[in-house]
Amino acid sequence: MSIRFAVLGAGRIGQVHAKAVSSVQGAILVAVADPVESAAQHICDSYGCDIRTIDTILASADVDAVIICTPTDTHADLIERFVKSGKAVFCEKPVDLDVKRARKVVETVAAEKGQLMVGFQRRFDPDFMALKKAIDDGVIGEVEMVTLTSRDPGAPPADYIKRSGGIFRDMTIHDFDVARWLLGEEVATVQAAASVLTDPAIKGLGDYDSVNVILTTKTGKQCTITNTRRATYGYDQRIEVHGSKGSVSAENHRQSRIEVANADGYTRPPLLDFFMNRYTAAYANEIAAFVAAVANNTPTPTTGLDGLKALELADAALASVATGQTIRLS
């Protein structure tokens, strides 16, 4: 029997997930909710489903699972309400910008024995999965040092930055999750540096645009994260993992695989410059994994705890910048 879905929030990422649900075997899109009717209508037109309010969906017996793509400040409440109603929940990161609130959500989900998967799509990117598999297969021996490079083509609008919780909670949070995934053990200490180099307006918003972070685990494994909000050559997303027997890395995705040679040299196209086409396959795989977990009633591959842990790392990075201290996680 197919899992029946509703998508809450029909914005950019809601559209992506609606499409994923529609193309995954074993999942049916039943309803969508969004105060902006044209957005909701667009999903209905594309994939065929009802428009309902969130409250109606909460009460809908024909909805087994929801995908929360609403604004961040609604995530925690919605997760709790839907988990309590017995529905499986997929929620875009973050659970909440406040660690305490996020922790409470995780506790609630546990108490309810609910299913909560948090949207860290990078874990489902085919190349990153191949990299992880190589590690798990022992190809590089014991993981020692992880190097993550994430650079956005450009900064989001000021309005977005204001509500984002800052670069560590909005952008680096993906790297924090990838770091935990690849290090294979929890982070013990965090050191971070942060500057504003691309646009002074970002300073005015109390945020940074260029950051480097060092994570160290209890056994001494290390991870560095390099982020910037401006890369002229596209959306730069690289992973390199160094181990006792070797190293494994994943290349970027270019706009095409051609190369032009002339008197100026050999030129390959810039990178894909938008997270949505860079991670198209990842988003689809992610939803497929959620569908499988709900269908089989197995643990979701990412959980609220993953969301919480990544958020704690973001807070630690901020504290390191503020205090000039290496922050030790409890």
**Residue with smaller CB distance to a copy of itself, 83 or 231:** 231
Q: What are the C-alpha distances in Å from 246 to residues 131, 138, 147, 183, 241?
A: 13, 10, 14, 15, 9
In sequence order, which residues have a C-beta less than 8 Å from that of residue 307 and are 6 or more positions away? 91, 93, 94, 95, 102, 106, 118, 120
Q: Can you tell me the distance from the alpha carbon of 38 to that of 169, in angstroms, rounded to the nearest whole number?
A: 30
Q: CB of 97: closest distance to a copy of itself in angstroms? A: 25
Q: Examine residue 1 and tell whether it contacts a copy of itself (CB under 8 A).
A: no
According to CB under 8 A, which one of 7, 27, 131, 314 is a site residue for a copy of itself?
131
**Residue 222 Cβ, how far from a copy of itself at the closest point, in Å?**
5
Half-sphere exposure of 93 (CA within 13 A, CB side): 27
Distance of CA 305 to the CA centre of its chain: 13
Q: Which of 99, 250, 308, 310 binds a copy of itself (CB under 8 A)?
A: 250
Nearer to a copy of itself, 79 or 140 (CB): 140
Least distance (Å) between residue 231 CB and a copy of itself: 7
From candidates 41, 74, 149, 303, binder to a copy of itself by CB under 8 A: 149
Would you say 133 or 163 has its CB closer to a copy of itself? 133
Asked whether 76 and 95 are in contact (CB, 8 A), the reply is yes
CA nearest 184: which of 127, 140, 227?
A: 140
In the complex, minimum distance from the CB of residue 272 to a copy of itself, in angstroms, rounded to a whole number: 12
Count of other CB atoms within 10 angstroms of residue 35: 11
Report yes or no: 58 and 46 within 8 Å, Cβ to Cβ.
Answer: no
Q: Using the minimum distance from each CB to a copy of itself, give the nearer residue, 206 or 324.
A: 324
Instruction: Out of 228, 280, 285, 300, name the contact with a copy of itself by CB under 8 A.
Output: 228
Q: Which is nearer to a copy of itself, 70 or 217 (CB)?
A: 217
CA dist list (Å): 202 to 150, 206, 292, 321: 18, 7, 41, 16
- Residue among 78 and 171 whose Cβ is closer to a copy of itself: 171
Residue 74, amino acid: T
| Binding segment (CB under 8 A) for a copy of itself, from list 67-75, 89-97, 113-121, 123-131 | 123-131
Q: Which of 157, 156, 215 is nearest to 191 (CA)?
A: 215
Say whether residue 159 binds a copy of itself (CB under 8 A). Answer: no
Angle between helices 72-84 and 99-111 (to 10 degrees): 10
Size of the site for a copy of itself (CB under 8 A): 70
Question: Which of 56, 74, 85, 189 touches a copy of itself by CB under 8 A?
Answer: 189
Binding site for a copy of itself (CB under 8 A): 126-127, 130-131, 134, 139-140, 142, 144-145, 147, 149, 151, 189, 191-193, 195-198, 210-212, 214, 216, 219-222, 224, 226, 228, 230-233, 242, 244-270, 320, 324-326, 328
